[in-house]
Structure 1
Amino acid sequence: MSEVVIYPARLVRTMDAAVPTAEAVAVRGDRILAVGDVDVLASTYPGASVDSRYAELVLAPGFVEAHSHIGGEFMNHPQYLGYFPRTAPDGTPLPGAQTWQGVLDALRVWDAELPAGEVLLARGLDLLFFPGEELTRHVLDSISTTRGIFVNHASGHVGTANSFLLERAGYGAGTEIEGVVLDADGLPTGELQEMHAMGPVMAHAGIDLAAGLTTEAGMYAFAADARNHGVTTATDLASFDLVRPGGADLLVDVTSREDFALRLVPATFGGMTTSLEEARQLAGVVAASQHRATAKLHLGTVKLMLDGSIQQHTAKLSNPGYVCGHDNGIWNTDAETFRDQVRAFHAAGLNIHVHCNGDEATEVFLDAVETVLSETPRWNHRHTVTHSQLTTRAQYRRMAELGMGANIFSNHIWYWGDQHIDSTVGPDRVKRMNAARTALDAGVKVALHCDTPVTPLDPMATASYAAERRTPTGRSWGDEERISVYEALEAVTIGPAYLLKLDHLVGSIVPGKFADFAVLERDPLDVAEAKELREIGVLGTVVGGIHHPAPIAARV
């Protein structure tokens, strides 16, 4: 039998109502044995050793991120054009670009540094921060006409390509593909909206989503970023690894290693299916793969996609739509195909998470769940509206009745808060946006997420935004939808664990669960204001009793 180790702490914050705090936690092997007073634990388990490395620190449940992406080199490379500076997992600063000239200068520097013939890939740009500016093929052609250039915008739902790549994808005069934006002369502007339009260009840029982006190096970088921010369980919420050669083997191999500091939930992307038969075949693959799970690899979740991005105006909004009068979005999957996808994955007993930014998309998902439940009754399915940004009060009541959950994108309050007020949904509708209070009051289980690399992986910041509801300039998003700091912390621990059907294993410090902890400088519930959560240092994690100290300060 494994040795019992007692870890004293300044405070153990359990997120468990039965024993909300303690001064120590006892661990045996990879599991929590008990929580309580040091002396009581020592007398209960004679012969236990005492490890005081956390005696002056706070242990909290390891955070659970229910919507994130490993992404590989394409989504994590250093050619970053975002408005908000970031830090790479290894501590490298990524300054981004805060002016339009800075965007152009960065592209020129990277073009000069790259070998001839190599595609220039940049990420993170958001034109909402540069009013009046446009990124077109002409702008990118001014950087280079002899190499491909592809800029993936911050949302991941829009990209811009130069003429070099457009021509190789066959996009020219009169192209009739939804999402390929044309100018007055019928020529592509270079802007590509949503996956159907971006896919052919990305393929010529060397990005094959269907082949999978997961690499061993990418998995370790993702785990390092998680460790730096106290995350011990995270999704890859659009994974292709179970359906690509060697993908499942890679997941099993890496997650079985002691030095891999993360429990991984790869949610297979079911949006690639185009018929009921295809969806059933994929559902069978995912269901049959579950025997390959490891202690740090949890299988049985799928991801579907309905609409696009609100800040890119491709999300599907119900009346009154966008305040700017923009056309009302793009469907990534039509309603009939989507219903067949849900039907197949639901019947196979899988957990379904669906990208729904706009309330029109949420309605389609609710209709589909109600239909398939009438055909195949199933309790405890925990199907989840992910993003859930404009889900209405009526929809939340219906979600509760259907047994569904909401994974809310609260980071938008900060990263696009002012832009949503001014440019997308207006000052009234933001008061109802990312409505965590309404969801909880309706009886819906809630998680909060970051969708990294769209926004940084940082659960305490994510929690703070939902509790504070203030933009970077201090504007309110409506105090009535605030949730308490405790509720926000539940929504980055036990809440997402529940939606991923892992709450019996992770999400709180309870005997029998995995010994997964976030190591914090101070108690996250001992703050005067929610924004103070963003100032609390993370010193690493414990995953299954294995210690993973963070080599860098995690706060940006």
Structure 2
Amino acid sequence: MSKTKLTRRAALSLLSGVSGAALVNVVGSNAASSLQDLGSQIETLPEVTVYTAKRVINMEGNEPDIDSVAVVGDRVLAAGPLAKIIERLGQQPFRVDETFSDKVIMAGLIDQHVHPFLAALTLTSEIISIEDWNLPTGLSKAAANSEEYQSRLSAAEAAMNDPDALLFSWGYHHFFHGEVRRAQLDAISRARPIIILHRSAHELILNTAALDLLGITEELVNSFEGLASEQSNFAEGHFYEAGVFAVLPKVAPVLATPQRLGTGLKLTRDYMHRAGVTVAAEPGGVLSRPLQQATNAVFSGDDSPLRTYFIPDGKSLAALHLEDGTLIEETEKLLDWGEGKTAFLPKQVKLFADGAMYSLAMQVSQPYQEDEFHGEWIMQPDEFNATFDAYWEAGFQLHVHQTGDLAVDMILDAVERNMRRMPRPDHRTTFVHFGYAREDQAARIAELGCIVSANPYYVTALSDRYGDIGLGPERADDIVPLGPIKARGIPISLHSDVPMAPGEPLFLVWAAANRTTVSGRVAGPEHRLSVQDALRAVTIDAAQSLRLETELGSITPGKFANFTILETDPFEVEADAIKDIGIWGTVLEGEIFPVGSVEEIDKALLAPAKDVIRRESKLPEAPAHTALVAQKGMLAGCSCCASPASFACTPSVAGRTSTVGCCGTNALGWAVVAEWATRA
């Protein structure tokens, strides 16, 4: 055995038991050398950095007397009381770093599900939404009703110095803000072009000035066919789902400019860092290599304060490659798309079941209260099952977007079918979002070895409103029903799906632990998580859902030295105050990243004037890929995830074609046109 291997193993053995009030000497009688012999080798060992704090929350035992962490390079060596760690280090070189002596060190926070590209577009807009957005560039307060929304939008227009600049706003939701169409926008300004992107990213509303400037004429809209025609209203300036795709070649080059995308990605990165995120994952993001490269440029560098993982969109890949038998091969090619601090996770894939929670398009066993709402499939059951089976056979972990209880049944049936024909241990099939499920389904989820990644913000934002419309009070209070899941010991992680919820893990902890709605009441108290369990859901259990628990999620010997530095101990405050805990910064793989000042964004530079819009909107003719998106609109269930080879309007349930888009975004449509604009 080489000297290097001996000393490294001996050092790890020496300190691996340092945890809590006692440290256990794990150097056995069969060790190659005695402690005295080890002393002669100390000079070859690296220097240890010992960070001290008011408390260290390691997400293992969480003993109250842990106040220090020993770090070697990018890994944790030990955690325990300072005196014990120093005693055990003996003659090995070390230094005590008191940077965090008046702070709380906890295991690095993980956001299990984010969308950097969509966040880049929305978070650089004029945000007037149904919730507060506390960004590095300032606080955007919620607009609770129609009057507040109209007042805020009018004020934003009046504050713009350039009379020709475009006003682009995101966050409007008709369930809360009432009807906003062309007439309402014209009342604010008939001279300034105004474009509103709906909170769900599924709808666009334009005023007369924007329609005129972009060349979206009545003649053009009358030329649309199929769903694009049905889902476009020129008189109202309203375009939704397929209608959005139809006008996208006119709109997207103006909104998804390289400057907005670059600025927005940096803002998104800084926003997540400010929230204490050390690791994030994007499941089922846009299948576009140029867009991935743009994301890498911001998120992969040495200066990035977080590491980001990506999980392929299996729906798009299946549309391209399932029939020709190259699905697995093509999926694994994406492993080459990451670089530096970005990477695709091996043997993991994202599929989609039913429609968007924000659109009341969940597939539910009990009908909605109103006939106007109905469930939609993003992947038709036959398509879903064939794709699920192919990935199962190849040994993939499947993350499945699900919002309604009928989708839970479909996923469970797929798991049981595959377990009966090809049993797999520890498959970790993951229910993503977990918007609504029946209590009887929890037992089956546990029996089949599935796990849950939930978005608890649905309760805060939607339970009150959905009690009045759509679901009714009883089901609305049971949104994100984690009580029976926790009772059966099923692993639970939490995620933001930013920008579908604020990308702040402690905010998610608050939402899961309190289940407080916008009106201040508690919805479904039996589904609340304890603070301990909610914190696990954004640390060690979040890592487990991504198969990264041996590297991340707790302050444990051998794991990466990823810490979030808190101003306050979350176990020492009321559950209602957790979302307000200050974040000092993070430590990523041993490197300190304090939350610093953020360069102010000049929104005037992101709001192109009329001459710029005219120039950008006169790009060369779009390639076939873009044209097909615009002409065909939504594929049955989810065309924004569809492939160029399969654009078609396939009938879905009850002869309808889905109008729900994909996973809460129209991201691929934006990316296709943005990529075209970049190439042009």
What band does the TM-score fall into relative to the shorter chain? 0.7 to 0.9
Question: For 1:274-332, what per-residue CA distance to the aligned partner results, in whole angstroms no more than 9, with x for missing partners?
Answer: 6373486454333234366667334234333333333422222221x323443313333
SS of the residue aligned with 2:66? strand
Report the AA paired with residue 297 of structure 1.
T
How much does 1:212 deviate? Answer: 11
Partner of 2:81: 37
Partner of 2:506: 460
How much does 1:31 deviate? Answer: 0.9
For residues 220 and 110 of structure 1, do their structure 2 counterparts lie closer, same or farther at Cα, with a shift above 3 Å needed? Answer: same
Q: Please, which of 164, 169, 172 is the counterpart of residue 122 of structure 1?
A: 169
Q: Please, which of 426, 433, 436 is the counterpart of residue 479 of structure 2?
A: 433
CA distance in 2, matches of 1:94, 1:13: 32
Partner of 1:79: 126
Confirm or deny: 8 A CA contact 1:286 1:299 kept in the other structure: no
Question: For 1:308-360, what per-residue CA distance to the aligned partner results, in whole angstroms no more than 9, with x for missing partners?
Answer: 333422222221x3234433133332222222332333344433322211222
Confirm or deny: 8 A CA contact 1:173 1:188 kept in the other structure: no
Q: Which of 1 and 2 has greater Rg? A: 2
Partner of 2:341: 296
Partner of 1:270: 314
How much does 1:207 deviate? Answer: 6.3
Q: Please, which of 137, 159, 166 is the counterpart of residue 91 of structure 1?
A: 137
Q: What are the within-5 Å matches in structure 2 for residues 57-68 of structure 1?
A: 57-68=103-114
- Superposed CA RMSD in Å reads 3.5
Partner of 1:535: 580
Partner of 2:301: 257
CA distance in 1, matches of 2:511, 2:364: 23
For residues 313 and 442 of structure 1, do their structure 2 counterparts lie closer, same or farther at Cα, with a shift above 3 Å needed? Answer: same
For residues 35 and 7 of structure 1, do their structure 2 counterparts lie closer, same or farther at Cα, with a shift above 3 Å needed? Answer: same
Greater helix share, structure number = 2
CA distance in 1, matches of 2:284, 2:161: 30
SS of the residue aligned with 2:68? strand
Q: Please, which of 452, 455, 460 is the counterpart of residue 406 of structure 1?
A: 452
Q: What are the within-5 Å matches in structure 2 for residues 323-362 of structure 1?
A: 323-362=369-408
For residues 214 and 516 of structure 1, do their structure 2 counterparts lie closer, same or farther at Cα, with a shift above 3 Å needed? Answer: farther
User: Among the aligned pairs, what percent are the same residue?
Assistant: 28
- Say if 2:286 is the partner of 1:286: no
- State the number of aligned residues: 542
Confirm or deny: 8 A CA contact 1:193 1:314 kept in the other structure: no
Question: For 1:183-210, what per-residue CA distance to the aligned partner results, in whole angstroms no more than 9, with x for missing partners?
Answer: 8xxx78555555x453333343116999
For residues 180 and 502 of structure 1, do their structure 2 counterparts lie closer, same or farther at Cα, with a shift above 3 Å needed? Answer: farther
Structure 2: stretches of 5+ with no match in the other structure: 1-44, 599-680
- Say if 2:227 is the partner of 1:177: yes
For residues 445 and 214 of structure 1, do their structure 2 counterparts lie closer, same or farther at Cα, with a shift above 3 Å needed? Answer: farther
CA distance in 2, matches of 1:82, 1:214: 20
CA distance in 1, matches of 2:519, 2:153: 28
- Say if 2:566 is the partner of 1:516: no
For residues 369 and 277 of structure 1, do their structure 2 counterparts lie closer, same or farther at Cα, with a shift above 3 Å needed? Answer: farther
CA distance in 1, matches of 2:525, 2:155: 44
Question: For 1:202-256, what per-residue CA distance to the aligned partner results, in whole angstroms no more than 9, with x for missing partners?
Answer: 3431169999999554443222112211111112233236x424x5555666555
CA distance in 1, matches of 2:527, 2:143: 32
Question: For 1:494-541, what per-residue CA distance to the aligned partner results, in whole angstroms no more than 9, with x for missing partners?
Answer: 1211111111111111111111111111211123x3112122111111
Confirm or deny: 8 A CA contact 1:137 1:162 kept in the other structure: yes
SS of the residue aligned with 1:205? helix
For residues 64 and 176 of structure 1, do their structure 2 counterparts lie closer, same or farther at Cα, with a shift above 3 Å needed? Answer: same
For residues 240 and 294 of structure 1, do their structure 2 counterparts lie closer, same or farther at Cα, with a shift above 3 Å needed? Answer: same
Confirm or deny: 8 A CA contact 1:351 1:381 kept in the other structure: yes
How much does 1:265 deviate? Answer: 1.5
Q: What are the within-5 Å matches in structure 2 for residues 147-226 of structure 1?
A: 149-161=194-206, 164=211, 167=217, 171-172=221-222, 176-177=226-227, 180-181=230-231, 191-194=238-241, 196-206=242-252, 217-226=263-272
- Say if 2:596 is the partner of 1:546: no
- Say if 2:490 is the partner of 1:444: yes
TM-score of the pair, normalised by structure 2: 0.71
Partner of 2:53: 9
Structure 1: stretches of 5+ with no match in the other structure: none
How much does 1:493 deviate? Answer: 1.1
For residues 475 and 96 of structure 1, do their structure 2 counterparts lie closer, same or farther at Cα, with a shift above 3 Å needed? Answer: closer
For residues 423 and 61 of structure 1, do their structure 2 counterparts lie closer, same or farther at Cα, with a shift above 3 Å needed? Answer: same
Report the AA paired with residue 245 of structure 2.
G
Partner of 1:70: 116
Partner of 1:312: 359
Confirm or deny: 8 A CA contact 2:312 2:334 kept in the other structure: no
SS of the residue aligned with 1:124? strand
Confirm or deny: 8 A CA contact 2:68 2:79 kept in the other structure: yes
Confirm or deny: 8 A CA contact 2:113 2:496 kept in the other structure: yes
Partner of 2:71: 27
